[in-house]
Structure formats: structure tokens, C-alpha cells
Amino acid sequence: MNITIHSGNWEELDVDALAVPLAKGSTVDAALDARLGGLPGELIDTGEFTGKAGACTLIHRVPDSAVKRVFLIGLGEAPMARHWFAAAGQAVRAAAKAKCRSVALLLPPDACARLAAEGAGFGQHRPSGYKEQKPWPVEEVILLTTGDQSIADAGRITAECVNLARELVEIPANDLGPEEFATRAAREGEAAGLEVEVLDENDLRELGAGALLAVGQGSVRPPRMVRLSWNPEDPVNDDHLFLVGKGITFDTGGLSLKPANSMEKMKYDMGGAATMIGAITAIGRLQPRVRVTCLLAMAENMPSGTATRPGDIITAMNGKTIEVINTDAEGRLVLADALTYANRLGATHIINAATLTGAVSVALGSVRVALLGNHKSLGDGIALRGRECGERYWPLPMDADYLEPMRGDMSDLRNAGADRKAGTITAAKFLEQFVEGTPWAHLDIAGTAWFDKAQPNAGKGASGIAVRTLVRLAEGWGS
Ligand code: BES
Ligand code: MN
Ligand code: ZN
């Protein structure tokens, strides 16, 4: 799907469809309204189209033109980045449904072409590989606005990498265990021009990655750690940003087995790693002037005769001992070693993403990503980049008191508290014990990595949350 910018008039184009994003209370461009015999104005006056976010009203044909469909798309009352992003995706999906080959988006002259291009690309994603599908009909998306083509290209590349993250999350665990995941991550990393390293179980043993190995030991599919590095020729400073991802290819809970209905979705438990793969491959292709390394901790959490038992005491890579109270609190264990490894490799800043706790859905639902950490300006930077691209974050507190439930009786730490209170925060306090004071932010994406129902701009499935934020953060690093 090509995404181009055209700063002229839609009448100059030969397109199948026109999409017109409209805020509540605004009107259609007068020339277009006239060409449609005043129909859009009438639809608005009668309240048939209100501009409500996610609304889409279809008009058939513009007389004496090639245009077969016009979509009026609601932006809501006070359109923000996420509304523009969503409207672009919705337009592309509506065009595809109507079997249009090309669609032009009527945007304001100063519109954010980057966001619209990202949104359009995002709208193209469909689950793939397991069900027969008709070919995708939309070949051309034209953004009617000002701006250089390179902006649309960056948006398209970013969206392709978001969609890679989504595709990876949607692959079922029978086809994506740690080894397959590592191989695929390495392949994608190479294609994006990154330095690639895959550590197998023997390498991990040598490194003393006792926590990652303990999580993986119940599975016949051994753990992996993957490193993907972007080394720019001319970095703005000496910073080295690390992107660390939880890559549990399936989370049964281990011997602390999950009930069936809580287990169903757990192929998505590598969503943090998928997000980081999306971000680092976009970074490799867009080449921002900051050093970035991605570390992916991959394991399958299974119950078996070789599985870690509740009560087992394990030793993490940094030498800290951890009593495994609950084998279902495995994400923090694999991340513990990846965070230690990030520091060993010289991290100056660390961001990790993980589908870490069910509690984050209780706190924030599927609306916002929980943002925790030890460094105010890093967290603020993430939230700011999120606002710019329409991904929402919310900070949670990190008082020292929240570490108390995680202190061990017989070990340095325990991986779960006695109750579920503040589960998202206590998990983050556990992670903090492995960052060695390096500026660090933790994104708990358990509530936001998966759309439980179809959205105007996406089907049911993986959301690719946080990829776009992290790409922007890297692009703007040092400014
Ligand atoms: N992958 C889950 C987090 C999760 C749970 C996501 C439910 C979506 C829905 C994680 O590994 C987990 O199981 N966390 C436990 C931790 C608890 C045992 C301390 C949880 O949140 O219940
Ligand atoms: Mn778990
Ligand atoms: Zn998990």
C-alpha cells in the first residue's frame, strides 16, 4: 500500500474514494459540499452525521468524477492525535471494505501527515496466515495536505513495524515458542540493518541467567535472549537506550496454573518483546541519532516435572536470590535478568515493556498504559511522546513502602506478595531491584496490548501499543 502526500485538490486525482474526517460541529469543505449537491451539509444539519469519534457515514458517488465513495469520519468534539490516527485507519478500512483501490484523505493544510500515514498503515493490518483471505484491495492512500513525502514515508515505515509487532503477538504459541520467536526476531533485526545476537540456553547458563532459566525449565522449548542493536554513525551524545521486552511465548502460569478462561489469551504474553521488536526495527530503518539496544527475554511458562515449584529459591544474574512464591509471576523473573544484562552492556537509560500484571487492567482498564519507573524526566518524555502520537499513559506511584511485600524471608526477594494489593506497583518495585539505579521506565501493557473487540481502525487482536511512542522518543532523543 503506497502512502503519498498531495498538496493540490482532490479533483486533480483519479481516486475511488474520498475520506473526510470531521470534528463535531464542523462542516464539509464548501466545494466538496457543492459537488455533492449539499448532501454532507444536510446529513450534518439533520443530525444523521454528528462527528462523533468513530462514526462513519457513507455517501455513494460524486457526480461526474471517478469517486465511488465518500466517507464522512467522526473525529469527536476536540480532536487530538489519537483521533486523527484512528480516523486515517478507519478510512482505509472503510475503503477496503468497499473494495476501493485508492482513497484520498481530505486533511487540513497543516495536518500531521506523519500521524495520518501511521494511522493509514495501521488500518491495513489483518490477522494473517491462518484463514483464507481476499487480497487487500487498497493500493493507494493519498494524504491531501502539505508536507514532504519523507514524512509520509516515515509514517508508513513506523506503521509497518507496529504491524510487525501485532503480527508476532497474533501468532499462536504452537508456531511461536522461544526458539521460533528468537529466529524471527533475528531475521527482522537483520532486515532492519541491526546488529543481532541470539543467546541460547547454554549461553544463558554461562551468563548466570538463573531467573530466565527457572521460568523456562518447565518447557521442552528452552529460553532465549535476543539482542538487537542500532549503532548510528553520528550519535547526538553518549547515551545508550535499552529497550527490554517480556517475551513469554505462552503463560500457563506454570505449576501455579491459570484457570482455563484466564489462559486462553496468553499467547499475547510476549507482547512486550513484540513492542520492542517493532520499535527497534523502525529505529533501524529510520536511523535516529541515538544508540539503542533491544533485549528480549523469551521463555515458555509451562507446568511439568521439570518446572520450577512454588517455594523454590533461584539466583538471578545479579546474584540476588528470589523465592518463587507463585510461578505465574514469571514476567518479573525473566525481566530481572534482562535488566541486569542491560546494565552489564552499558545502558544509560532503560525502558521495558511487559504484559506484566492483571492488576493493571483493574487500575486503568484497556485505556492507558501504566507508566512506572525511577526517573521523572524519562517518564515525562515517554508520556509526552505518547500524547504527540495518540498513545495514552498514566503514572503510578513508586513509594518505597510498595517494596515491603516483595522482601523475602529466606531470600533477598520473593516474586509475589501475600495479597494482590497494588499488584502493578509491587511488580514494578520488584523490577526496580534489578536496574541498579540506571534511569528506567516500565510500561505495563497487559491491559492495552490486545483489543478484546474490534475498533473503528482495527479488528480484534493485537494493538501494537507503545511502538510509536518509543520510535518518536528515539527520533527526538537529545532535543
Ligand atoms: N501475563 C500475566 C499478566 C496478565 C494476567 C495479563 C491476567 C492479562 C491478564 C502475568 O504473568 C501474571 O500472571 N501475573 C500475575 C501475577 C501475580 C501471580 C502476582 C497476575 O497479575 O495475576
Ligand atoms: Mn504469569
Ligand atoms: Zn505472564
Would 155 be classed as within a structural domain?
no
Q: So which residues are the catalytic ones? A: 258, 332
Whose alpha carbon is nearest atom 17 of ligand 1? Answer: 329
Whether pLDDT at 464 is above 90:
yes
Average pLDDT over residues 24-42: 93
Residues 8 and 116 in one domain: yes
State in Å: Cα 320 to ligand 2 middle: 21
Instruction: Provide the number of structural domains found in the chain.
Output: 2
Q: What is the pLDDT of residues 406-433, one digit of tens each?
A: 999 999 999 999 999 999 999 999 999 9
Average pLDDT over residues 466-472: 99
Residues 266 and 118 in one domain: no
User: Which residue from 302, 333, 357 has its CB within 8 A of the most atoms of ligand 1, so it is best to mutate?
Assistant: 357
357 lines ligand 1 (CB under 6 A): yes
Would 153 be classed as within a structural domain?
no
Would 58 be classed as within a structural domain?
yes
Residues 177 and 307 in one domain: yes
Alpha-carbon span 143 to 152, nearest angstrom: 8
Contact 446, 357 (CB under 8 A): yes
* Mean pLDDT lowest among 106-110, 303-307, 389-393, 466-470: 106-110
State in Å: Cα 424 to ligand 1 middle: 9
The boundaries of the domain holding residue 216 are 164-475
Which string of DSSP letters, residue by residue, matches 229-265?
EE--SS-SSS-EEEEEEEEEEEE--TTSPPPHHHHTT
* Strand 440-444 with 349-354, pairing: parallel
Q: What is the pLDDT of residues 257-266, one digit of tens each?
A: 999 999 999 9
Q: Could you tell me what percent of the chain has a pLDDT over 90?
A: 97
Alpha-carbon span 250 to 268, nearest angstrom: 7
If DSSP states are collapsed to H, E and C, what string results for 428-466?
HHHHHCCCCCCCEEEEECCCCCEECCCECCECCEECCCC
Would 449 be classed as within a structural domain?
yes
Summary mean pLDDT of the chain: 97
State in Å: Cα 145 to ligand 2 middle: 46
Q: Which domain-ending residue is among 145, 174, 207?
A: 145
Average pLDDT over residues 313-334: 98
Q: Is 56 helix (H, G, I), strand (E, B) or coil?
A: strand
Residues 187 and 321 in one domain: yes
Whether pLDDT at 50 is above 90:
yes
| 3-state helix vs strand vs coil in the chain, percent to 5 | 35, 20, 40
pLDDT the model gives residue 128: 86
Would 432 be classed as within a structural domain?
yes
User: Which residue from 268, 298, 302, 328 has its CB within 8 A of the most atoms of ligand 1, so it is best to mutate?
Assistant: 328
Residue 153 CB burial class (10 angstroms; 0-12, 13-18, ≥19)? middle
* Strand 291-301 with 240-251, pairing: parallel
Residues 195 and 98 in one domain: no
Residues 265 and 386 in one domain: yes
Torsion angle, CA of 3/457/391/117, rounded to 10 degrees? 10
Whether pLDDT at 203 is above 90:
yes
DSSP 8-state assignment for residue 135: P
251 lines ligand 1 (CB under 6 A): yes
Whether pLDDT at 111 is above 90:
no
Residues 116 and 181 in one domain: no
Which string of DSSP letters, residue by residue, matches 341-373?
HHHHTT-SEEEEEE---THHHHHHTTT-EEEEE
Residues 114 and 260 in one domain: no
Whether pLDDT at 110 is above 90:
no
pLDDT the model gives residue 245: 99
Residues 279 and 199 in one domain: yes
416 lines ligand 1 (CB under 6 A): yes
Q: What is the pLDDT of residues 131-171, one digit of tens each?
A: 999 999 999 999 999 999 999 999 999 999 999 999 999 99
Q: Which residue has the cell 508508513?
A: 156
Q: CATH code at 104? A: 3.40.220.10
Whether pLDDT at 129 is above 90:
no
pLDDT the model gives residue 163: 98
Would 225 be classed as within a structural domain?
yes
Whether pLDDT at 52 is above 90:
yes
Whose alpha carbon is nearest atom 22 of ligand 1? Answer: 358
Q: How far is CA 45 from the centre of its chain?
A: 39
Q: Is 412 helix (H, G, I), strand (E, B) or coil?
A: coil
Q: What is the pLDDT of residues 438-453, one digit of tens each?
A: 999 999 999 999 999 9
Residues 385 and 471 in one domain: yes
Q: Please report the atom of ligand 1 found closest to the CA of residue 326.
A: 18
444 lines ligand 1 (CB under 6 A): no
310 lines ligand 1 (CB under 6 A): no
Q: Which domain-ending residue is among 112, 145, 178?
A: 145
Q: CATH code at 258? A: 3.40.630.10
Average pLDDT over residues 71-88: 97
Alpha-carbon span 421 to 95, nearest angstrom: 47
16 lines ligand 1 (CB under 6 A): no
Whether pLDDT at 176 is above 90:
yes
Q: What is the pLDDT of residues 264-284, one digit of tens each?
A: 999 999 999 999 999 999 999
149 lines ligand 1 (CB under 6 A): no
pLDDT the model gives residue 109: 83
Contact 24, 8 (CB under 8 A): no
Residues 125 and 169 in one domain: no
Q: What is the pLDDT of residues 328-346, one digit of tens each?
A: 999 999 999 999 999 999 9
Q: Please report the atom of ligand 1 found closest to the CA of residue 330.
A: 11
Residues 103 and 249 in one domain: no
Q: Is 196 helix (H, G, I), strand (E, B) or coil?
A: strand
Whose alpha carbon is nearest atom 5 of ligand 1? Answer: 358
